[in-house]
Amino acid sequence: MKVSEIYNLAINKGIEEDFRGREGVAKFLKRKKERFEKLTEEEKKEFDLETLENPYSDSRILHAADDKDIKRVLVGIDIEPAEILLAKELGGIDLIVSHHPLGKALANLSDVMELQCDILSQYGVPINIAEGLMKERIEEVARGVNRVNHQRTVDAAKLLGLNLICVHTAADNLAANFLKEKIEGAGPERIEDLMALLKEVPEYKEAVKFGVGPKLFTGSENNRCGKIALTEITGGAEGSPKLYEKMAQAGIGTVVGMHVSEDQRKEAEAANITLVIAGHMSSDSLGMNLFLDELEKQGIEIIPCSGLIRISRNQ
Rounded to the nearest whole angstrom, what is the least distance from the CB of residue 280 to Fe ion in the complex? 6
Cα gap 167→144, rounded to integer Å: 20
Closest CB to Fe ion among residues 217, 246 = 217
Q: Of 287, 260, 255, 99, which Cα lies nearest the Cα of 176?
A: 287
Closest CB to Fe ion among residues 111, 284 = 284
Q: How many residues bind Fe ion (CB under 5 A)?
A: 1
Closest CB to Fe ion among residues 1, 233 = 233
Candidates 59-67, 205-213, 246-254, 278-286: pick the segment binding Fe ion (CB under 5 A): 278-286
Beginning with the edge strand found earlier in the chain, give each strand of the sheet holding 72-76 in spatial order. Answer: 60-63, 164-166, 95-98, 72-76, 301-305
Candidates 114-122, 157-165, 181-189, 283-291: pick the segment binding Fe ion (CB under 5 A): 283-291
Q: Of 162, 174, 134, which Cα lies nearest the Cα of 311?
A: 174
Q: Which residues of 221-241 are buried (b: 16+ CB within 10 A; e: fewer)?
A: eebebbebbbbbbbbbbbbbb
Rounded to the nearest whole angstrom, what is the least distance from the CB of residue 234 to Fe ion in the complex? 10
R_g of the chain, CA atoms, integer Å = 19
Rounded to the nearest whole angstrom, what is the least distance from the CB of residue 100 to Fe ion in the complex? 6
Rounded to the nearest whole angstrom, what is the least distance from the CB of residue 190 to Fe ion in the complex? 28
Closest CB to Fe ion among residues 17, 284 = 284
Rounded to the nearest whole angstrom, what is the least distance from the CB of residue 308 to Fe ion in the complex? 11
Candidates 88-96, 214-222, 281-289, 304-312: pick the segment binding Fe ion (CB under 5 A): 281-289
Q: Does 232 bind Fe ion (CB under 5 A)?
A: no
Rounded to the nearest whole angstrom, what is the least distance from the CB of residue 302 to Fe ion in the complex? 19
Candidates 114-122, 124-132, 137-145, 280-288: pick the segment binding Fe ion (CB under 5 A): 280-288
Closest CB to Fe ion among residues 70, 237 = 237
Interface residue with Fe ion among 17, 83, 206, 284 (CB under 5 A) is 284
Rounded to the nearest whole angstrom, what is the least distance from the CB of residue 98 to Fe ion in the complex? 11
Which residue, judged by CB position, is nearest to Fe ion in the bound state? 284
Residues that bind Fe ion (CB under 5 A): 284
